[in-house]
Amino acid sequence: MYNVNDIVKNLNWDLQEKEVQQSLFNSLTNEEELIIEVLEQKALHVDEIKQKLQWQSSKIAKHLLQIEFKDIIIPLSVKIYKRIM
């Protein structure tokens, strides 16, 4: 019987352990940290984030995408984001 490690080894996957959560937050910009703080309590629509931060839509979209790439937020539906970390 195979276990997960056997499968990973047979597929020659190079899996690296995920960095500690703290190091993720060290790599955030000040703007990204502000967005994460806004999303701390609940999922929000982009317009609500825009209203709270008083930023242009393009600036919010740019930073939301970067934070999503860092696996800290996820889109729940069209223009609604939730913090997962």
pLDDT of res. 19: 46
Domain count of the chain? 1
Contacts 24+ apart (CB under 8 A), 46-54: 46/79, 46/80, 46/81, 47/79, 49/81
Specify the CATH number for the domain of residue 70. 1.10.10.10
Let me know if residue 14 belongs to a domain: no
Residue range(s) defining the domain that contains residue 58: 19-83
Let me know if residue 39 belongs to a domain: yes
Let me know if residue 54 belongs to a domain: yes
pLDDT in tens, 16-65: 554 445 455 558 899 999 999 999 989 999 999 999 999 999 999 999 99
Let me know if residue 7 belongs to a domain: no
